[in-house]
Structure 1
Amino acid sequence: MVELPVARPSVGAAGKTGNWRLFKPSIDYRKCIKCLLCWMYCPDGVISVSGEGLPVIDYEYCK
């Protein structure tokens, strides 16, 4: 069996994305009920939860 090198993922699986995105998701905190559906369905996994239970988007890794 041939052994292949395995690299560890960076902070974001593909690394920082910068600001090349076409759309920038945003959260309207006046309407947010802290259900965290945005966190659950984020395809890039870049939404974290603040100490107050509010979702926060990390735009450095958002695509």
Structure 2
Amino acid sequence: MKPYLREFVPTAFEDIPDATAYEAGYLVTKNAGWRNVRPVIDAQKCVGCLNCYLYCPDGVIYREGNKVAIDYDFCKGCGICRKICKPGAIEMEAEK
């Protein structure tokens, strides 16, 4: 599921999640522009294991066919996806 910006922001106590995460794709603000590096996926090396998806703290990685893609509107450039990628399909490049 590709993340997307939602208009509804929980305000009442009953709308707040019980666990550490809300439903997949729940993002309320776009990246503020402070990211200085961003992950880039090499489609030839990507095996579609989805470890990057599972470990991404912001939930910005999503499946696109048999491979993965990144929603740069919400990515903060932490690099966790690069560290967890066993095939080495993700590299961090300087933000332009």
Aligned to 2:72: 59
What are structure 2's unaligned runs of at least 5 residues? 1-9, 16-25, 77-96
Cα RMSD over matched residues? 2.3
Match of 1:6 in 2: 11
1:19 CA displacement? 3.3
Whichever residue aligns with residue 33 of structure 1, its letter is V
What are the superposed Cα offsets for residues 12-37 of structure 1, whole Å, 9 maximum, x if unpaired?
Answer: 24x00043202101111111111011
Runs (5+) with no aligned partner, structure 1: none
Q: Which has the larger radius of gyration?
A: 1
C-alpha distance in 1, partners of 2:53/2:71? 11
Query: Could you tell me the TM-score, scaled by structure 1's length?
Result: 0.72
For 2:27 and 2:41, locate their aligned partners in 1 and report how far apart those are by CA, in whole Å: 21
Structure having the higher strand fraction is 2
Match of 2:51 among 37, 44, 51: 37
The count of aligned residue pairs is: 56
TM-score, with structure 2 as normaliser: 0.50
Letter in 1 for 2:69: V
Identity %: 45
Higher helix share goes to which structure?
Answer: 2
Which consecutive segments of 4 or more residues in structure 1 shift more than 4 A? none
